[in-house]
Structure 1
Amino acid sequence: MLITDYFKKFLHSSQSSGILLICCVAVSLLIANSALAEGFQNILNKEIGTDVFGLNYPVSIWINDGLMVVFFLLVGLEIKREIVEGELSSFKSASLPIVAALGGMIVPALIYIFFNQDSEYAKGWAIPMATDIAFSLAILSMLGKGVPLSLKIFLAALAIVDDLGAIVVIAMFYTDQIHWNYLALSGAMVAFLVVLNFLKFKKHIFYIIPGLFLWYFMHHSGIHATIAGVLMAFTIPTNISTTEISPLEKMEQKLHLPVNFLVMPLFALANTNITFKEGMVEGLFSSLGYGIVLGLVIGKLVGINLFSWIFIKLKISSLPDQSTWPQMLGTGLLAGIGFTMSIFIALLSFKGHAEIQDEAKFAVLIASVFSGVTGFLILKYLGKKESKPAAANV
């Protein structure tokens, strides 16, 4: 009985998902640099599914483009709830993640371009623009009640905007072909979901089935399919009745455990299996390494906080409720965890150049670890020193 109680406590602890994710990262890195590496990679590359409708993909694709849609659906639900009735319900609070995300994309890209504009690495300018929403939120969750809820919502919203920006950049600069017919069908499916919301359909099945079609069309359009989760989330009803829990909250409650203890661990295992090779360390001290590391660590920190400070001083936006500038600094560093999204862009940027890809992956790993650890420490120790509400810090 005691073991069961501990297990239940672990499952419902806000820190548990972050701890589990870090353990999965460690396991994945160990496997990738051991005799098990080839076998593990074979599992990830094994195709499963059916050729009917073109649904036969490697395990890694099912995890990244399939299961991760559920993660983005959950984050989208949380953000919609906060926009409707929570921390993002005012223009000032809702606008801050958007402008912060813009700063967090522009400044890192400029830093990278400064180091690489006239080199063979120039086309990797988008690498430090990305934020790995899964890992950044996992690290923040490990702080539990040590940070205000508003800061968690701010980072989630910022990371969603950042990911949407990355998807647009990938579509415009790194995608060989966009299938407009599938993109149009995706738009039609979103419109259908909006109509269901307008007609006040409240059973989840009415949204899940069209949501699956939306994922299918989006995946075949050439645009990263995870955006389907966010789009679907924003069509789930919030206020069907004031006397019962909304469909959005019910779906949110159902998704928390599978996302935290199935989707995220599988994502970490599948995407952090980086094999360390000779020359990777040397790549850190090249213009490529400088651009990536300084872009993610300094660029994200400066871009997010500079743009936030400007818009707050102009009284267009406001700090997240009960948060402080030291906490914003820590959050800016957590946004520098580019990890899987940055690695994905690096692979697209340097197709056919395995050595450059390896150097870029190692630089992203080092920058992400440094940003994550530093951001965590600032939020845990420095962020506690000020306890004034946000309004007093503007």
Structure 2
Amino acid sequence: MKKSSLDLYLLLPIKGFIEKQTSVGLLLIFSAVLAMIFANSPLAEAYHNFWKQYIHIGINDMVIRKNLLHWINDGLMSMFFFLVGLELKREIMQGELSSLRKSLLPIAAAVGGMLLPALIYFYFNSGLDSISGWGIPMATDIAFALGILYLLGDRVPLSLKVFLTAIAIVDDLGAVIVIALFYTSDLSFISLAIATVFFLILITANRIGIRHTAFYAIMGIGGLWLAILLSGVHATIAAVLAAFAIPTSKKINTSLFLRKVRLLSYSIKSLQKEPDIKEEHREESITNTIEKFTSLTKDATPPLQRLEHALYPFVSFVVLPLFAFANAGVTIDSESFGFFLSPVTIGIVMGLIFGKFFGVVIFTKLMVALKISSLPKGVEWKHIYGVGFLAAIGFTMSLFITELAFVNEEFLVQAKIGILSASLLAGIIGYAYLKWISNSNVKKKKKKSVAKVVTSKEGPKQRFKILQ
């Protein structure tokens, strides 16, 4: 692949994705803090009761009845998982997961970062009713993690941000698989069969070249999502499946797009020079020609990319903050401090902080030691240690799995205390460590400014020039 093509199809999409995460992370922090303020104020009872209000959707006997919290977690969060599915498919098609060699290192790091936290949680909760929460410390919150990396600016290499992005995306896929296999209720095989039919319709539509996003929205939401919701499998799985059915092909290729752009540009220039056209007609014709650029751009952009760009603002600035505000509110009282010593809280904190760090680092070292993979260009082992800490920020996905894992209110509170504590601690440690090593690198570079010996024509006399 030529350098220009590499920039266009790999580096620029990932760089753009990374740059957008910063404001999302800050908004999530604000939403979580606001939730904690409400949950520990005179409005605490009203805050908790508000999310328990029921909303009914349907007609006659065909009614879906869920409270507001479930509509957020099962409904709105499906849009988040749909976006995750789009990003995952894009990475598989043309990004960091597009080739086996490139993908092995982040996949191994992500697997290690999921396996060890689950084992640590299992150790502290084995034989207890809280064992079902083993999936909670497996998650990584990509928005928070990349937001912290962004705060460090160009003091950390771009390849490190790409590496962390790939780990988090694989981590999200792992969370989806865990939810599908282990956090489901009683299954309705009739609903699953109907869901399979709708999924096959979506795949077939992709194959035969249907590219209209409205078709995929109707089939994906009205068919696949609803059928899976009623089947007992968590509805977010439908969102990921629907995302994988979205076409990645363009209606016109790049060469044809450029030729048509040149033709349209030539038409505009010709209209500007045409002396026999009235000014108002000239402007109208030029405007109509310019509007064709929009249609042309749409035809040259894959539906997957169009959907990703369209959904990102709503998911990032509405869905995720609303989810954080609805789920992060924990009322702290005198009994709550005792929860820090509960097996649930200890399992989550130890799983996230130590499990994530050692899982990511050890599995990455194994891949490099066995010469299966090599570290990304510009990335050193000290950077990997920082990524290990940032991967321990579980927040969004950990809170999501908590709602699936526990019904017991006490376990829910203990888990949320563990998630919030571990995510805050991991974020502080990761940021401080990466900032420290980046400052150390700057100092080393200054010390390596050497005195260059320049021999004078006058003889053995030497003078020194300091290279800054």
TM-score range, shorter chain: 0.7 to 0.9
Q: 1:315 and 2:371 equivalent? A: yes
Residue 15 of structure 1, CA deviation: 2.4
Deviation, 1:254, is 1.4
5 Å matches for 1:257-268? 257-268=313-324
Query: 1:94 matched to which residue of 2?
Result: 103
CA gap of 1:327–1:230, structure 2 versus 1, over 3 A, is: farther
- What is the CA–CA distance in structure 2 between the aligned matches of 1:71 and 1:130, rounded to whole Å? 15
* Aligned partner (choices 218, 225, 231) of residue 209 of structure 1: 218
Is 1:78 the equivalent of 2:87?
yes
Distance 1:14 1:127 in 2: 22
Aligned residue for 1:329? Answer: 385
Please, which of 312, 330, 337 is the counterpart of residue 256 of structure 1? 312
- Does structure 2 retain, via aligned residues, the 8 Å contact 1:186–1:217? yes
Query: What does residue 7 of structure 1 align with?
Result: none
1:392 aligned partner: none
Aligned to 1:117: 126
> Which residue identity lines up with residue 345 of structure 2 in the other structure?
G
Equivalent pair of 1:87/1:150 in contact (CA under 8 Å)? no
User: Which among 5, 9, 28 is matched to residue 21 of structure 1?
Assistant: 28
Does the CA-based 8 Å contact 2:184-2:234 persist in structure 1? no
Query: Structure 1 residues 73 and 15, CA, compared in 2 at 3 Å: closer, same or farther?
Result: same
State the shift of 1:280 in Å: 2.6
Match of 1:355 among 380, 403, 410: 410
Q: Residue 155 and residue 187 in structure 1: after superposition, are their counterparts in 2 closer, same or farther (change >3 A)?
A: farther
Which one is further off, 251-260 or 313-322? Answer: 313-322
Alignment of 1:160-199 (within 5 A): 160-199=169-208
Q: 2:343 and 2:413 mapped to 1: Cα distance?
A: 15
Corresponding residue of 1:366: 421
**Residue 375 in structure 1 maps to residue 385 in structure 2:** no
Structure 2 residue 1 is the aligned partner of structure 1 residue 31:
no
**Does the alignment pair 1:242 with 2:253?**
yes
Matches of 2:101 and 2:195 in 1, distance apart? 31
Secondary structure at 1:278 match in 2: coil
**Contact map agreement 1:21 1:264 (CA 8 A) in 2:** yes
Q: How big is each residue's C-alpha offset from its partner over 1:118-176, in whole Å with a ceiling of 9 and x where there is no partner? A: 55654543332233455445555655666555544544443444344444445554544
How far does the alpha carbon of each residue in 1:255-282 deviate from its partner, in whole angstroms, 9 at most, with x for none? 2222222222212211111111323322
Residue equivalent to 2:334: 278
Contact 1:15 1:141 in 2 (8 A): yes
* 334 and 226 in structure 1: CA distance in 2 versus 1, 3 angstrom threshold: farther
Q: CA deviation at 1:62?
A: 2.2
- Are 2:304 and 1:295 equivalent residues in the alignment? no
Partners of 1:216 and 1:346 in 2: how far apart?
A: 23
Q: Which moved more, 1:336-345 or 1:135-144?
A: 135-144
Alignment of 1:30-69 (within 5 A): 30-52=37-59, 53-69=62-78
Q: Deviation digits for residues 241-264 of structure 1, max 9, x if unmatched?
A: 323222222222212222222222
Query: Aligned to 2:395, which of 329, 332, 339?
Result: 339
Q: CA deviation at 1:117?
A: 3.0
Question: 2:205 corresponds to which letter in structure 1?
Answer: L
Bigger mean CA offset, 21-30 vs 373-382: 373-382
Q: Which moved more, 1:166-175 or 1:23-32?
A: 166-175
Determine if contact 2:24/2:143 at 8 Å carries over to the other structure: no
The 8 Å contact of residues 23 and 147 in structure 2, kept in 1 or not, is answered as no
Offset at 1:300?
Answer: 0.8
Question: So what's the TM-score if we normalise by structure 2?
Answer: 0.71
Equivalent residue pairs, number? 375
Q: TM-score, normalised by structure 1?
A: 0.83
Structure 1's 55 and 284: CA in aligned 2 closer, same or farther, altered over 3 A? Answer: same
Deviation at 1:301, TM superposition (A): 1.0
Separation in structure 2 between the aligned mates of residue 75 and residue 141 of structure 1, nearest angstrom:
20
Show the counterpart of 1:390.
Answer: none
CA distance in 2 between partners of 1:171 and 1:136 (Å): 25
Q: Which runs of 5+ in 1 are unaligned?
A: 1-11, 388-394
Report the Cα distance in structure 2 between the residues aligned to 1:317 and 1:268, rounded to whole angstroms: 37
Matched to 2:78, the amino acid is: V
DSSP 3-state at the match of 2:51: helix
**Paired position in structure 1 for 2:241:** 231
**Matches of 1:188 and 1:24, distance apart in 2:** 39
Report which stretch shifted further, 206-215 or 231-240.
231-240
Identify unmatched segments of 5+ residues in structure 2. 1-18, 255-299, 443-468
User: Which whole-Å CA distance do the structure 2 matches of 1:98 and 1:363 have between them?
Assistant: 26
Q: Distance in 1 between matches of 2:24 and 2:169?
A: 19
- CA apart distance, 1:358: 2.6
- Alignment CA distance shift 1:83-1:224 (3 Å): same
Query: Could you tell me whether the CA contact under 8 Å between 2:112 and 2:363 is conserved in 1?
Result: yes
User: For each residue in 1:173-206, what CA deviation from the matched residue of structure 2 results, as whole angstroms up to 9, or x when unmatched?
Assistant: 4544122332333333222222122112222112
Per mean C-alpha deviation after superposition, the further-off stretch among 15-24 and 81-90 is 81-90
Q: Indicate how the Cα distance of structure 1 residues 124 and 282 shifts in structure 2: closer, same or farther if over 3 A, else same.
A: same
How far the C-alpha of 1:385 sits from its partner, in A, is 6.1
CA contact (8 A) 1:14 1:144 kept: no
Q: Distance in 2 between matches of 1:144 and 1:178?
A: 48
The SS at the match of 1:56 is strand
SS at match of 1:45: coil
SS class of match (1:51)? strand
Please tell me the residue identity of whatever aligns with 2:190: N
Among all aligned residue pairs of Structure 1 and Structure 2, give the percentage whose two residues are the same amino acid.
46
Map 1:104-143 to 2 at 5 A.
Answer: 104-117=113-126, 121-133=130-142, 135-137=144-146, 139-140=148-149
Counterpart of 2:285 in structure 1 is none
Report the Cα offset of residue 116 of structure 1: 3.5
